[in-house]
Amino acid sequence: MPIINFFFSAALCWPLVLSTFSHYSFLHLAANMYVLHSFSEGTVAALGKEQFVGLYMAAGCISSLTSLLYKSVFGVSGLSLGASGAIMAIIGYVCTAYPDTDMSLIFLPFVHFKAHHAIKAIMTLDAAGILFKWQFFDHAAHLGGAIVGIGWYYYGNYYIWQNRKYVVQAWHDFRSSFD
């Protein structure tokens, strides 16, 4: 199958969405849900429920696609499961919208840092993970999700959310050009 047909086939849409809700283990699920819960209340308050779900779902699909493209291009093996990419979008949004927020780590609560430092550190580690092909985490999905969250802060509300009917129509037109 030619690679272009693989990426635009009709069957690829559902795995991109469903992989966001699949996890390796209960610990993987619990860790993702803890982090999502930690960041979701402020994000829902800032965006509203509908836009939060829009950001989460879009980031889940885009981060899954980022992971798939990375693994395909660089020949990296492994599954791409979990909500980490979508959660990274939420973290990216929060850290960009509220850069001076104090944060700490659950296991080191006495260590405090600003949100803008946190997102820079996370993205740097994920970029290093991509360059060195570390496989413990899906660094491509994390980085893709963080970029979506930061992009949503700067462009999402106006260019995507307020004009979503045009974005959806453009997507349908784009997809139909391959039929």
> What pLDDT, on a 0 to 100 scale, did the predictor assign at position 10?
57
Is residue 2 very low, low, confident or very high in pLDDT (cuts 50, 70, 90)? very low
Tally of structural domains, the chain: 1
Instruction: Answer whether residue 4 is part of any domain.
Output: no
Taking phi over 0 as left and psi of -120 to 50 as alpha, with beta for the rest, 76 belongs to beta
For 71-127, the pLDDT digits (tens) are 888 888 777 777 888 999 999 999 999 898 888 777 777 888 888 888 888 888 888
If residue 113 lies in a helix (H) or strand (E), which one and from where to where? strand 112-114
Q: What is the mean pLDDT of the chain?
A: 82
The active-site residue out of 25, 84, 104, 177 is 84
User: What tokens appear for 66 in the block?
Assistant: 């980022």
pLDDT at 9 over 60: no
Average pLDDT of 159-166?
78
Instruction: Answer whether residue 124 is part of any domain.
Output: yes
Instruction: Answer whether residue 23 is part of any domain.
Output: yes
Instruction: Answer whether residue 61 is part of any domain.
Output: yes
User: What tokens appear for 2 in the block?
Assistant: 């030619």
CB within 8 A of 7, min separation 6: which ones? 68, 69
> What pLDDT, on a 0 to 100 scale, did the predictor assign at position 44?
93
The active-site residue out of 9, 142, 172, 177 is 142
Domain coverage including residue 145 = 12-172
Do 43 and 92 contact (CB within 8 A), yes or no? no
Instruction: Answer whether residue 166 is part of any domain.
Output: yes
CATH number at residue 151: 1.20.1540
Instruction: Answer whether residue 57 is part of any domain.
Output: yes
Considering the entire predicted model, what is its pTM? 0.79
Instruction: Answer whether residue 177 is part of any domain.
Output: no
Alpha-carbon separation of residue 21 from 45, 61, 72 (angstroms): 23, 11, 22
142 is catalytic: yes
